[in-house]
Chains A and B, each alone.
Chain A
């Protein structure tokens, strides 16, 4: 059964290849398009649809960051990043260093929302965090990019901040593994009929069973638990240092308690290549049926690369459980 491939890129013709990469921790997703002709310029908006004739959803929206032209052969390589690149590029630097941007009594989601608005990202979906910063003292936000500071806030409370393919910034609890309590369901099933190759690994390299949080003044908190994968009484530690924003004991303990279950686990990961599926994206969940490898059940798409070339349309993923 032959499927006709289809792709379209804003103001671009003679497409030779498209590669779109994204992962759970990357600030932005990136797209690389090689084509014979384009009228795009640096800073222009770009939209990419990719897939099959009759099934080519929008897989990328963003801005052109770089264009390479070469000869021979005469083609153009367009590099683009999604809307979050605005937050990466926007560096907060107060014109008057004695009067920087300050906040107090602000929830984590409202803080990130306001920072994103500074760089023009107004489509925002923030989940209620029950976390308030600057209760006793106001705090400054200066000499940092909007993304870096938003990521710092997200890491304190074990949240994720990312931009979807429609340009909406999300700030929410999104662990790097499937969690049915937050509504994770399978988008599609991967099996021998669509898997091109697969490998599976288990590691304790990212396991941390002790979280230490340092806040303002003498505020500190700790959360720890024994791990069945480590010697009894042995703790691998992770530190959350947030003296500028955590100024109550309650917030410090919450941060420790929120982060511990996120990292006190083995890293089970699968590298899977499948027939190109434009519907799958990072942060989706998929079902994998490879019982001969011990790989079954619901898995979280941690990273993804959609590759559209003369060699075919394939989707390469790192999934985790």
Chain B
């Protein structure tokens, strides 16, 4: 199954999810620390992917400024709606691409780092 953000095709290279619980830790004058559970943060996702072509790259960049949720779908039953917090594309040195046969072989290829929040 292929990876998509909305209808934009991406090729995920790595995927990291961070789940965090808010636990203040107080230290009385004697004895061990006392922990208090305040709550938890929603998961934060960071992934690196390949994107082919200026059109798809710009589509992802615009998602980091539109203030709406986007749907990500992929294998391993990964799917969900997230806000795109940040997008950092890097142009890769390449003379021709064969990743997307439906696009021009001279289209640029980008490595893109994306942060998602629920």
Contacts and interface: CB of A to CB of B under 8 A. Distances in A.
Contacts of B28: 192-196, 275
A196 B27 contact: yes
Interface stretch (B10-18, B34-42, B45-53): B34-42
Contact of B29 (A4, A5, A52, A192): A192
B41 to A, nearest CB: 10
B31 interface: yes
Interface in B33-78: 34-39
A228 interface: no
Contacts of B27: 196
A310 B39 CA distance: 9
Interface string A242-285: 00000000000000000000000000000000011000000000
Interface in A274-321: 275-276, 310-314
A198 B36 CA distance: 21
Contacts of B94: none
B26 A314 contact: yes
Nearest to B29: A192
B45 to A, nearest CB: 20
Chain A interface residue bracket vs B: 20 to 34
Contact of B24 (A52, A198, A312): A312
Contacts of B38: 5, 310, 312
A3 interface: yes
A1 interface: yes
Contacts of A194: 28
A1 B36 CA distance: 9
B37 A2 contact: yes
B23 A2 contact: yes
Interface residues of B, number: 16
Given A2-B35, A2-B37, A5-B36, A195 B24 contact: no
B77 to A, nearest CB: 29
Contacts of B29: 192-193, 195-198
B36 A192 contact: no
Contacts of A192: 28-31
Contacts of A52: 36
A275 B30 contact: no
Nearest to B37: A4
A91 to B, nearest CB: 42
B22 interface: yes
A192 B29 CA distance: 5
B87 to A, nearest CB: 19
Among A1, A197, A275, A312, max chain B CB count under 10 A is at A312
Contacts of B37: 2-5
Contacts of A196: 26-29
B26 A312 contact: yes
A52 B37 CA distance: 9
A191 B30 CA distance: 9
A26 B36 CA distance: 31
Given A193-B30, A196-B29, A310 B24 contact: yes
Nearest to A17: B38
A193 B35 contact: no
Interface of B: 22-31, 34-39
Interface of A: 1-5, 52, 191-198, 275-276, 310-314
24 contacts: A1-B34, A1-B35, A2-B23, A2-B36, A2-B37, A3-B35, A4-B37, A5-B38, A5-B39, A192-B28, A192-B29, A192-B30, A193-B28, A193-B29, A193-B30, A196-B27, A196-B29, A198-B29, A275-B26, A275-B34, A276-B36, A310-B22, A310-B38, A311-B24
Given A1-B35, A195-B28, A310-B22, 11 more contacts: A3-B37, A4-B36, A5-B36, A191-B30, A193-B28, A195-B29, A196-B26, A275-B34, A310-B24, A311-B24, A312-B25
